[in-house]
Amino acid sequence: MNKPHHNEMLNRVIKRTISNRVFIAVMVTVTALIGGLAIIATGKFDWRIQQIIANRRTGNLCESRENGDLSSFFSEDYSSARKRFVEAGRLAGAIMSRLVLTDPGPSGEELSVDIAWMGSPEPKRVLLHTSGLHGVEGFAGSAIQLKILQSKPVPPADSAFVLVHALNPYGMAWLRRFNESNVDLNRNFRFTASAWQLQSQIYNEINGFLNPKRNRLFDSFLLQAVGLMARYDYQILKQAIAGGQNQFPKGLFYTGKDLEQTPLLYGDWLEKHLSLVQYLFVIDVHTGLGSRCQEILAHKGTATDSSVLSDKLGKPLQQDFVREQEDHYQFSGGHNYLYRQVFPQTRVDFITEEFGTYPNICVLQALRDENRFHQYGDRRLNHPGKQRLKEAFNPDSPAWKTAVIQQGLSLYDRSKDLVFE
């Protein structure tokens, strides 16, 4: 082979190699860009970023708590949480009651609201602690209750301590915020005909965004959310979304059009067992609103002035945290209305104990994704939408879980001293 011909072939090989490498580099770049756009379009980008931000913020609000890991009090699922609660109640000497729902759990198991009663059978003063009204939020309240039962509380002779576990067992078992009818139970306690008359023009306009029926490749949640915030005032938009609606039975924050079975069953139980109570103090545990690990306490009772109660508890107390937060919203038909209805003559102080997890936009995305899958998918619990919702309301962080239990125990101890003084 002559030298010029050899050089020509060598040049061709080099050019082809360079060309292939350029082509590969271009394809990798294009693929990365498309992948990045797909992540943003499908709404996964903002969730991952929010997770990173929230985890970094954990150090300020969570890590500053006392040393010690209490995360073992958290259960993996509803069935194990219920089993542990019932066993702990019996070991504590509590009288156990069970309100069974008609709808089954994911494995066909019975679902129930379980109640542990300690103290006088005809008490004048009662400290009532509830968990799981919003289903998937129930893991935090359940863990606090488990820790409380470990101490085997003994109320005074004329008093009682009552723990109500998983007021929305369907939501806790199926990893939903809503119940078996897709109803937000904290919007369902309505006792007059006029209370069910709800209209939201803005919700009607954004229903397609909030409640999509199909899982599209390019969902563009974040882009759509930004567009809506540019179109509507943020506070008005948030109020329209979270305030409650009864136009779309498969939509988020559906109030229902009549009382659900849990309010009926639980209301009957309260009337039967607590009709002689003179003073009732309720702690209702929730998660998902506020800064990560932050405890927000809202007072919705009428027995004690909020400022006086705050001084007695030694904790900041807001009359209504959803009004005083930057991203506030208002709603009716809340859990506290039940006690007004059942005990019109009883002095009642109602405290909502809320623990922050992730930013609001992140929580809304998780609610939206899970609702779409639950309504139009096969409802399997290992689906990313289900697991993301569980993470949104129950972060897989020992520091967060420990901070929740420590703050929950602190409120319980101070409330106990107040109620049983």
CA 6 centroid distance within chain: 72
| Number of domains forming the structure of the chain | 3
Task: Tell me if 185 sits within 8 A of 219, measured CB to CB.
Answer: no
Contacts (Cβ under 8 Å, ≥6 apart) of 211: 248, 250, 251, 252, 368, 371, 372
Q: What is the pLDDT of residue 374?
A: 96
Residue 274 lies in a domain: yes
User: Is 29's pLDDT higher than 50?
Assistant: no
User: Is 22's pLDDT higher than 60?
Assistant: no
Q: Are residues 34 and 50 in the same domain?
A: no
Q: Are residues 310 and 190 in the same domain?
A: yes
Q: Are residues 349 and 273 in the same domain?
A: yes
The last residue of a domain, from among 182, 215, 240: 240
The SS3 of residue 14 is helix
Predicted confidence band of residue 56 (pLDDT cuts 50, 70, 90) = low
What is the side-by-side order of every strand in the sheet holding 347-356? 95-100, 112-119, 159-165, 125-130, 279-292, 347-356, 295-299
Report, as an integer, the average pLDDT of 196-200.
85
Residue 357 to residue 293: CA distance in whole angstroms: 6
Task: Tell me if 253 sits within 8 A of 19, measured CB to CB.
Answer: no
Q: Are residues 267 and 333 in the same domain?
A: yes
Q: Are residues 88 and 17 in the same domain?
A: no
Q: Are residues 112 and 259 in the same domain?
A: yes
User: Is 232's pLDDT higher than 70?
Assistant: yes
**Which residue shows structure tokens 């639950």?**
374
Q: Which tokens go with 342?
A: 């059942």
Residue 245 lies in a domain: no
Q: Are residues 269 and 222 in the same domain?
A: no
Q: Where are the beta strands (DSSP E) in 78-138?
A: 95-100, 112-119, 125-130
Angle CA(120)–CA(410)–CA(395) in degrees, nearest 5? Answer: 115
Q: Which tokens go with 169?
A: 């067992």
Q: Are residues 175 and 298 in the same domain?
A: yes
Q: What is the pLDDT of residue 220?
A: 82
Residue 272 lies in a domain: yes
Q: Which tokens go with 88?
A: 């702990």
State the DSSP string of 365-404: HHHHHHHHHHHHS---TTSHHHHHHHHHHS-S-HHHHHHH
Residue 247 lies in a domain: no
Beta partners for residue 183, in sequence order: 254
**Closest Cα partner for 339 from 326, 348, 329?**
348
Residue 248 lies in a domain: no
Task: Tell me if 97 sits within 8 A of 114, measured CB to CB.
Answer: yes
Task: Tell me if 349 sits within 8 A of 284, measured CB to CB.
Answer: no
Residue 142 lies in a domain: yes
Q: Are residues 156 and 13 in the same domain?
A: no
Residue 365 to residue 225: CA distance in whole angstroms: 10
Report, as an integer, the average pLDDT of 226-248.
91
Which uninterrupted H or E stretch holds 343?
none
Residue 349 to residue 342: CA distance in whole angstroms: 14
Q: Which domain holds residue 219?
A: 201-240
Give Dmax (Cα) for the chain.
Answer: 111
Residue 278 to residue 44: CA distance in whole angstroms: 51
Report the 10 Å Cβ neighbour count for 215.
13
User: Is 364's pLDDT higher than 60?
Assistant: yes
Which uninterrupted H or E stretch holds 254?
none
Which uninterrupted H or E stretch holds 289?
strand 279-292
Predicted confidence band of residue 199 (pLDDT cuts 50, 70, 90) = confident
CATH classification of the domain holding 343: 3.40.630.10
User: Is 27's pLDDT higher than 50?
Assistant: no
The SS3 of residue 288 is strand
Residue 180 to residue 158: CA distance in whole angstroms: 38
Q: Are residues 37 and 74 in the same domain?
A: no
Residue 263 to residue 277: CA distance in whole angstroms: 19
Q: Are residues 148 and 212 in the same domain?
A: no
Please state which of the ranges 16-30, 67-81, 364-378 shows the lowest mean pLDDT: 16-30
Q: What is the pLDDT of residue 6?
A: 53
Please state which of the ranges 61-65, 83-87, 161-165, 372-376 shows the lowest mean pLDDT: 61-65
